[in-house]
Amino acid sequence: MSIKRRDFIRVSAVGAGAAALLAGCTTPAPETSSSSPLDNLKSITDDIVPISLDERKARIEKAQRLMVENKIDAIYLDGGTTMEYFTGIRWGTSERMMAVIIPAKGELKYVGPHFEEERIRELMKLGTDLRVWEEHESPYKLVAQIFKDLGLRSGRIGMEERVRFFLFDGIRKEAPAFEYVSADPITIPCRIIKSAAEIALMQKANDITLESYKVAIAMLTEGMTQQDFSNIVSQAHSKLGSRGGAFVSFGEYTAFPHGSSTPQNLK
Q: DSSP per residue over 10-69, as a string?
A: HHHHHHHHHHHHHHHHSPPPPPPP---GGGG-----TT--PPPHHHHHHHHHHHHHHHHH
Is the per-residue pLDDT at 14 higher than 90?
A: no
Q: Label the pairing between strands 129-133 and 99-103.
A: unpaired
With beta carbons less than 8 A apart as the criterion, state whether 70 and 186 touch.
yes
Is the per-residue pLDDT at 46 higher than 90?
A: yes
Task: Tell me what the pLDDT averaged over the chain comes to.
Answer: 86
pLDDT of residue 264: 45
The mean per-residue pLDDT over the stretch 239-265 comes to: 72
Is the per-residue pLDDT at 151 higher than 70?
A: yes
* ∠ Cα 205 210 211 (to 5°): 100
Q: How confident is the model over 70-118, as pLDDT tens digits? A: 999 999 999 999 999 999 999 999 999 999 999 999 999 999 999 999 9
Distance between CA 263 and CA 42 in Å, rounded? 38
Residues in contact with 132: Cβ distance below 8 Å, sequence separation at least 6, in sequence order: 111, 112, 113, 114, 116, 117, 120
Domains in the chain, ordered, with CATH?
Answer: 53-192 (3.40.350.10), 195-266 (no CATH)
pLDDT of residue 30: 38
Is the per-residue pLDDT at 121 higher than 80?
A: yes
pTM: 0.77
Q: Is residue 263 very low, low, confident or very high in pLDDT (cuts 50, 70, 90)?
A: very low
Q: How confident is the model over 56-80, as pLDDT tens digits? A: 999 999 999 999 999 999 999 999 9
Is the per-residue pLDDT at 26 higher than 70?
A: no
pLDDT of residue 251: 74
Distance between CA 200 and CA 134 in Å, rounded? 42
* ∠ Cα 105 106 112 (to 5°): 120
With beta carbons less than 8 A apart as the criterion, state whether 187 and 163 touch.
no
